[in-house]
Amino acid sequence: MAKIAKIEVTDSNPLTSLKGFFKSLLETGELKGLMVPQHLPMKNVVMPTLVTDPEKLEGADPLAPVFPLNAAKLVGRLTRKPLHGSVAAVLRPCEIRAFIELVKLKQGSMEEVVLVGVDCPGAYSNVNYPRFAGENRDDATLKFLGSALDGGSTAFEDFDISTACMACEHPVPRNADLSIGLFGVDVNKELIITANTDKGEDILDKVGLSAAEEPGAREGAIAALVEKRTAYRDRMFEETSEATSDIEKLNNYLASCVNCYNCRVACPVCYCRECVFLTDAFDHEPVQYLSWAKGKGMLKMPTDTVFFHLTRLVHMSTACVGCGQCSNACPNNVPVVELFKTLASYTQKAFAYEAGRSPEEEPPLSVFHEAEFPEVTGGKH
Amino acid sequence: MADFEPTIIAFVCNWCTYTAADLAGTSRLTYPRNVRLIRVMCTGMVDPQYVVKAFLAGADAVLVSGCHPGDCHYINGNFKARRRIKLLKEILPRFGFDEGRLRLTWIGASEGVDFAHTMTQLVDEVRALGPNDVRSQMVL
Ligand code: SF4
Ligand code: SF4
Ligand code: FES
């Protein structure tokens, strides 16, 4: 089914060509809008924007090494009711995976959206990106691509791309209607666009690009990157498991958490309108605090920190896509993504599930079989 | 450790295990007082968060007990409960909780004897495991 085309790159500037491609996508008249990250006009901040005017794409830059939030929630907002027409959304692989989870949780729909995925060499945190880019916009992105692609370094001064990105084993988008390939591609000459679905093919035909072959170096480049990241990920799993292997260590691990719940707000798959931790169930009676304190003579305030994280783990680790936005949002450098991705690897494996892998797989806690997990009830069905 | 008396929180379904507990009582069967029953309308309403809370508050074991497969009054609440316990058994032991402290059993309304027996056995096993570390280590 996959149909491959290429975008010619002129003046060794893939960004200009990409903007041209987005413009022609909008000009097909098939789309009511295009969601794409842009450098905002007022400040060099990259944010998702919803574009209806093909002339308003000067700042478009889905390759900038930053994503201040996981846009899956925004695509959910755009698609939760019929639009009577299609929109396209340019997303990172982890944003698509999170969106797939949201669709399964009835928080969005794939019906009227054309998902455009982009190969992802990683991103800096919201704090580090401005240090990397300063006032440079496209130039900073081109500089990053120049060194990051094909196994080069992503480190800059004393920082690197986020831990989540270092440990990401899915740098190539899956479940995209159209995917834009960078790995193993000479991006100074061309970009590779693949239509993976009929929807993608229809719109790609209308843009009228010339057909292409997958570059010979692509498969190897992807395999090498995935291997490097998987090795990093597995080390991270080991270190995190060790650092949290008993309750005292877990307390220690979460010690600087101030219960601001930013990690939950930033998490694309934590979708409850009102988190239980914000309800009056947690408006403890004042005397309750005193009675807890009396238990050991001292009570850490705020309370419920470990409870909060364990609850989030039981509620959503089967949907965690490892995007790292929890850590990106944490004001206190709690290694949140390390913990969530590590635990998610265990819980998803237990149900032979992988978040974001397929729109068809049911979320494990929404289904059951009559005979399963006999070990849970001591062998008795 | 000889004088260690475990605290066990049991989430029991109104229609079966709770009824079995009642039956055990009216049949004058005895079971250890270590078990604190929390009656729920179905095991399918036991949010895994409740189990987490019970452990963090110092429970030495948590039991969830409901209708036998096929007997759930809400058709499949017990099957959902089984997945949630499976999930908890994946997560909690990674943080050092002994897996044996979390149990799921099916005890039907007429099984008063089974109820008393299961509780006695559970208390013995948990007594052997010793206190849940959380009791000494949590500062909340
Ligand atoms: S828990 Fe963190 S890594 Fe996992 S989906 Fe949420 S924000 Fe992303
Ligand atoms: S882990 Fe960080 S972001 Fe999450 S509640 Fe704690 S301090 Fe806030
Ligand atoms: S009614 Fe007893 S487990 Fe559902």
ipTM: 0.96
Query: Using CB atoms within 10 A of its CB, is residue A339 exposed (0-12), middle (13-18) or buried (19+)?
Result: buried
User: Are the beta carbons of A315 and B79 separated by less than 8 Å?
Assistant: no
Same domain, A251 and A183: no
* DSSP track, A144-181: HHHHHGGG----BTTB-S-HHHHT-S--S--S-SEEEE
Same domain, A361 and A270: yes
Same domain, A150 and A279: no
pLDDT digit string, tens, across residues A146-175: 999 967 899 999 999 999 999 999 999 999
Residues from chain A that touch B79, judged by Cβ atoms under 8 A, are 368-370
**Interface-testing mutation among A237, A377, A380, A381, with chain B (most B C-beta atoms within 10 A):** A377
- Report how many domains make up chain A: 2
Interstrand relation of A46-51 and A190-195 (parallel, antiparallel or unpaired): unpaired
pLDDT digit string, tens, across residues A328-342: 999 999 999 999 999
pLDDT at B140 over 70: no
Same domain, A157 and A222: yes
pLDDT at B139 over 70: no
* Domain stops at, among A199, A229, A259: A229
Q: Cα(A368)–Cα(A360) distance, rounded to whole angstroms?
A: 15
User: Are the beta carbons of A245 and B95 separated by less than 8 Å?
Assistant: yes
User: Are the beta carbons of A300 and B82 separated by less than 8 Å?
Assistant: no
Classify residue A358: in a domain, yes or no: yes
User: Across residues A125-139, what is the average pLDDT?
Assistant: 96
Mark A239-265 as b/e (b = at least 16 C-beta within 10 Å).
Answer: ebbeebeebbebbebbeebebebbbbe
Q: Which ligand is nearest to the CA of A270?
A: 1
Residue A237 has a pLDDT of 98
Indicate the domain borders of chain B. Answer: 8-137
Same domain, A317 and A188: no
pLDDT digit string, tens, across residues A193-229: 999 999 999 999 999 999 999 999 999 999 999 999 9
User: Across residues A226-234, what is the average pLDDT?
Assistant: 97
Same domain, A255 and A201: no
Q: How far apart are the first and last CA of chain A?
A: 44
Choose among A25, A60, A24, A17: nearest CA to A40.
A60
Residue A381 has a pLDDT of 60
pTM assigned to the model: 0.96
Query: Which member of B48, B87, B95 has the closest CB to residue A244?
Result: B95
* Domain stops at, among A174, A195, A229: A229
Classify residue A23: in a domain, yes or no: yes
Same domain, A262 and A174: no
Sign of the C-alpha dihedral computed for residues A179, A29, A103 and A80 taken in this order: positive
User: Across residues A17-28, what is the average pLDDT?
Assistant: 97
Classify residue A234: in a domain, yes or no: no
* Tokens 């079966």 sit on residue: B16
* Tokens 């209708």 sit on residue: B67
Residue A229 has a pLDDT of 97
Query: Is B47 within 8 Å of B11 (Cβ atoms)?
Result: no
pLDDT band with cut points at 50, 70 and 90 for residue B3 = confident
Q: Cα(A192)–Cα(A294) distance, rounded to whole angstroms?
A: 65
pLDDT at A44 over 90: yes
Same domain, A333 and A225: no
- Residue B104 phi/psi, 5-degree rounding, is -125, 125
Choose among A283, A345, A302: nearest CA to A320.
A345
**Domain span at A121:** 3-229
* Nearby residues of A294 by Cβ (< 8 Å), 6 or more positions away: none
Same domain, A20 and A75: yes
Same domain, A224 and A255: no
**Cβ contacts from A onto B, under 8 A:** 109
Cβ-based neighbour number of residue A229 at 10 Å: 18
pLDDT digit string, tens, across residues B51-76: 999 999 999 999 999 999 999 999 99
Same domain, A278 and A344: yes
Same domain, A119 and A258: no
Residue B135 has a pLDDT of 76
Three-class DSSP category at A245: coil
Classify residue A182: in a domain, yes or no: yes
Q: Provide the CATH topology of domain B8-137.
A: Rossmann fold (3.40.50)
Q: Cα(A159)–Cα(B15) distance, rounded to whole angstroms?
A: 58
* Domain stops at, among A166, A200, A229: A229
Three-class DSSP category at B72: coil
Residue among B16, B76, B105 to mutate when testing ligand 3 (max atoms within 8 A of CB): B16
Residue B134 has a pLDDT of 85
